Structure 1
């Protein structure tokens, strides 16, 4: 689109201060390299972004050139032809270091069954265990924990240890809680937490025929544990049922929680002085595992990507923006704005490692990750899980009733499509 003497490149993505700041800098750099171009940035909340760009197919309308989108949504977007396959452009002018400059786990989810690539990684997860190192290493806290439980205070290996530590640090009179978790029914962290609790106990989401088994005993155990953190044990802040991932990360950064399992981007938030009261006090580790022999440390591999909209009339220019933003210098800009960069060069950058210790752990976490099923129906199934998990969290249904309903609804949806 041309406005006045400028060609306007329109980007639509998720509203989040880190994304907005980083993309503003990256857009300015692109405008400097392309003086005749103006990059117009629009940001929406996750559900609104999915509904507008994919469910209502705005990516095919011609009103968008570039989208910042979630890998969960890609199977549907690729199946419906809403994105441009980048392979010819990647062959002609790949980003510097492509593809080996990125972890294989950050290159797989944007490929279709035919091996075509539809996006470049922009912001990485994964989820990690994040904790207040200053509390864990405090001699008085260590002595009190040893006296109460007969064992040393250390980062938990298992979920039972996690609960014990959460109970120890829950002190409402001090406005301190053992854990903060995001309970908001936004089909985001509430669903991802359920998945991690299930996988880390050796459970799975689909059976051998590819049908949902959310009512499997391991999954029921997993969600019951999560629900109990809020309702039975009350180790989370009272408002946690209304917090999304961003707000829960801010709650941790304010110093009100001893631990959280959250996106590693919120570990970087906790190291930004303007956003955090716990700068330099944080530790990182692997997510706890289930207590049984089937338990394993795991994380969720979901990430944000930049893609070219199928309806764009300026696809090559849109790809040039993707390529520019994926450069080593501009990937580092992503990190410096509190997001999680995706290139090895940034993960290993001494300046980044000094400011954001999370990058010293990220490669190890990526060696044991799982992802939501890569099926076009998954966004709709996520909405079903969103309802079920919220019903269980607010105790409108038992965990077993909620997950049995979710399995039945998801199976009906898959059979209908």
Structure 2
């Protein structure tokens, strides 16, 4: 284990740009400075650029940064390429408070390699949840009007067909109101996750047990067509969503002109913060709807952000100290109170956190039915294919079947090159 360079007194952190991360890392950096005297220089980058720099461009091999907030989608590639420091020795000698049982097993698996090496500690959790305007759903006039039009009660939709009914009901262009919102900007993030949720919630899968692409078959057709139809057929999602990533869509929802969406739980937090939202106190959360068929299931994504150490860091021991302190119960709670999503069970169950952000009552329930993208080094390349596929379909450059067929061929070639099939 390397020694701490007492003369540098500065750690350099790189993260995805997000107001919640900027606020939480600000609190944690201030705490760490008081504790150790070390400054945390913080850089925030757009998600695609973050991947291009730290993973594809292998900037993690340089000494440009000491701390890297990395999404779990990228970890198999990062581990294979030797871009992150395994933390086993640090964890054994000086573990974080409550390690490892203070975290759900779902928050510890994706950063652990097959040999048991751990490459980071969860910093920010999703999960994706159903988020809606509770004031609209609880309004008696709205309830009566919905029942009169659709013949069943206005409630959190259980199925995607009910979701469409509800979205149509609340879409009122003359009032500047849309029933639903997606984050459809082609950043390889939510536009792909939207497709995966639609696929999985209908009982579909990306690949078969023998690594053959199957996402282009009938369930995949239904899933992708659903996303296209929300914008172009039903008109319940504003076309501006084609230019919105998850952050922009979360901020848009907080301005009150959308009735419901499925998105990261952190954006329910944004909508509950009076400084950022006009609908604070009027937000509800629940399970994401399921497919209408017999294989339909409520499903969310198990994807989260871990704080790790780039292998090129010259301050690895002190970087670990920052990770350890930031993973404490108090600092994990600070992540949540600043608008991110803490990852410890204590934070999920904290009364103050739940009072400020009621959706925390549902996080453990959501985690009972989650899936993750393929945990292979080739997944980022597959993800790019899926992102282009969804974007082509949503922008009507080709038909849904054409977009799926093209993507399936490309994914097959990637898997074949990797020796999977």
**Range class of TM-score, shorter chain:** over 0.9
The counterpart of 1:32, out of the listed 20, 34, 42, is 34
Cα deviation 1:239-280 (Å, max 9, x = unaligned)? 111111011111111001100000000001110001111111
Looking at structure 2, the residues matched to 211 and 327 of structure 1 have their Cα atoms a distance apart, in angstroms, of 43
Change (3 A) 1:89 1:5: closer
Is the CA contact (8 Å cut-off) linking 1:135 and 1:141 kept in structure 2? yes
Aligned to 2:375: 374
Aligned to 2:261: 260
Aligned to 1:315: 316
Aligned to 1:341: 342
Looking at structure 1, the residues matched to 251 and 240 of structure 2 have their Cα atoms a distance apart, in angstroms, of 13
Q: Which SS does the other structure have where 1:215 is aligned?
A: coil
The counterpart of 1:22, out of the listed 15, 21, 24, is 24
Looking at structure 1, the residues matched to 339 and 398 of structure 2 have their Cα atoms a distance apart, in angstroms, of 38
Looking at structure 1, the residues matched to 8 and 392 of structure 2 have their Cα atoms a distance apart, in angstroms, of 50
Unpaired runs of 5+ residues, structure 1, are none
> 1:230-245 residue pairs with structure 2 within 5 A?
230-245=231-246
> 1:268-417 residue pairs with structure 2 within 5 A?
268-417=269-418
Q: Which SS does the other structure have where 1:361 is aligned?
A: helix
Aligned to 2:219: 218
Q: Which SS does the other structure have where 1:129 is aligned?
A: strand
Cα deviation 1:345-369 (Å, max 9, x = unaligned)? 1111111111000111101101111
Q: Which SS does the other structure have where 1:122 is aligned?
A: strand
Is the CA contact (8 Å cut-off) linking 1:214 and 1:406 kept in structure 2? no
Looking at structure 2, the residues matched to 155 and 311 of structure 1 have their Cα atoms a distance apart, in angstroms, of 48
Residue 8 of structure 1 deviates from its aligned partner by 1.8
Is the CA contact (8 Å cut-off) linking 1:214 and 1:404 kept in structure 2? no
Is the CA contact (8 Å cut-off) linking 1:106 and 1:342 kept in structure 2? yes
Q: CA RMSD in A?
A: 1.4
Residue 3 of structure 1 deviates from its aligned partner by 11
Cα deviation 1:313-356 (Å, max 9, x = unaligned)? 22111111100100011111101110011111111111111100
Residue 5 of structure 1 deviates from its aligned partner by 5.7
Residue 6 of structure 1 deviates from its aligned partner by 4.4
Is the CA contact (8 Å cut-off) linking 2:211 and 2:415 kept in structure 1? no
Residue 210 of structure 1 deviates from its aligned partner by 1.9
Aligned to 1:194: 195
Q: Which SS does the other structure have where 1:260 is aligned?
A: strand
Q: Which SS does the other structure have where 2:321 is aligned?
A: helix
Cα deviation 1:129-168 (Å, max 9, x = unaligned)? 0111110111111111111111111110000000000000
Residue 4 of structure 1 deviates from its aligned partner by 11
Q: Which SS does the other structure have where 2:68 is aligned?
A: strand
Unpaired runs of 5+ residues, structure 2, are none
Aligned to 1:7: 9
Looking at structure 1, the residues matched to 199 and 193 of structure 2 have their Cα atoms a distance apart, in angstroms, of 10
| Pairs aligned (count) | 416
Looking at structure 1, the residues matched to 139 and 302 of structure 2 have their Cα atoms a distance apart, in angstroms, of 33
Aligned to 1:52: 53
Looking at structure 2, the residues matched to 148 and 182 of structure 1 have their Cα atoms a distance apart, in angstroms, of 29
Say whether residues 1:141 and 2:127 are aligned partners.
no
- 4+ residue segments displaced more than 6 Å: none
Is the CA contact (8 Å cut-off) linking 1:6 and 1:38 kept in structure 2? no
Residue 238 of structure 1 deviates from its aligned partner by 3.0
